[in-house]
A = this chain, B = another copy of it.
Amino acid sequence: MTELFDYFDKFLKLSDNTKKALAELCSNVTIKKNDTLQPFGHTCKTIYFLKSGIARIYYYKDGTDITECFAFEGNIIARVESLFTGKPSQKAIQILENAEIIAINATQLFKLYDTYPQIERLFRLIFETAYVDTLNRIEGIQFHSAEERYLDLLKRTEIVQKIPLKHIASYLGITQVSLSRIRATVK
């Protein structure tokens, strides 16, 4: 669990008994490439932390598979729109590279918010950061060409190389053909 608490530490220093309470909600999951971590249609009740591997959140739009986001080693991933609204998620989580994951039981987590204000604060800070990242992503989508966005993604994580092109294309909001064309000119 060290990796997870190191991650938490970056947001807020937790007291020992808060850490202990949190640790009780966590369980380890090992899951293989291409497997589904969370299926469509269920209300999201888990927040995941990736110790290793790659995951993506995706959904179907007019029959095509769209990747909403990727998550890499050392980051958390959750279907926020369901977690916060309590509505069933129209999105699924799939593993793209064999992963070691810590699953945090969100139902129990939210219950701890009353007893441990530190925990409520921790996750408030985590999601505030994610919110700001999302605002910046909008700027990226609206004011950069597909080529710029692709190069930017490459710059952020070279691990992207391991991900099938179609997922990267739908994440960037373009077709796979278009991305392939871009890569040809960039090389």
User: Which residues on A are within 8 Å of B, measured CB to CB?
Assistant: 61, 66, 68, 80-81, 84-85, 113, 117, 120-121, 124, 127-132, 134-139, 141-143, 173
Contact = CB atoms under 8 A, between A and B. Distances in A.
B66 A143 contact: yes
A129 B87 CA distance: 13
Interface of A, helix, strand, loop or mixed by DSSP: helix
* Identical chains in the assembly: 2
Given A138-B138, A142-B141, A132 B81 contact: yes
Contact of A131 (B61, B80, B117, B143): B80
A49 to B, nearest CB: 19
A145 to B, nearest CB: 12
8 contacts: A61-B139, A80-B135, A81-B136, A84-B128, A85-B132, A120-B124, A130-B131, A141-B173
